[in-house]
Amino acid sequence: MTLSKIALPLTAAAAVFSLGAPAALAQGGSAGFTAELAEPAADNRVIAGGVLWSCSGTSCTAPINGKRPLRVCHDLKREVGAITSFAVGGEALDAERLERCNR
């Protein structure tokens, strides 16, 4: 197989995959769980609520795993401490649910 025969399929594949990148970037962090912590997380990666969280300072993000947000929030609280805000797909828990999360 010649280089030109390999290059064409690779170029086509790269073009197809690049079409989805702008849409994924436009969604940003709103497609998953986001949490703000009262204190910076001790570790950059935390497993809580059945998902792997990526934390930087007081901000943590994780992909949605299909579990109940309040349960995931509470599990994260047990691992990293008090949570000052928690959102799913960009929608924040209200004050009552956030208080329940932090119990």
Exposure string (b/e) for 19-46, b if CB count within 10 Å is 16 or more? Answer: eeeeeeeeeeeeebbbbebeeebeeeeb
Q: How far is CA 93 from the centre of its chain?
A: 16
| 65 in any annotated domain | yes
| 17 in any annotated domain | no
How many residues appear in the chain?
103
| 61 in any annotated domain | yes
| 75 in any annotated domain | yes
pTM of the model: 0.69
Cα(52)–Cα(70) distance, rounded to whole angstroms? 16
pLDDT at 39: 97
**Based on the structure, what is the number of domains in the chain?**
1
Q: What is the pLDDT along the chain (103 residues), one digit of tens a residue?
A: 554 554 444 444 443 333 433 333 334 445 699 999 999 999 999 999 999 999 999 999 999 988 799 999 999 999 999 999 999 999 999 999 999 999 9
Cα(64)–Cα(89) distance, rounded to whole angstroms? 8
Distances (CA, A) of 2 to 6, 7, 10, 12, 57: 7, 9, 13, 16, 50
Cα(45)–Cα(57) distance, rounded to whole angstroms? 11
Q: Which domain holds residue 92?
A: 29-101
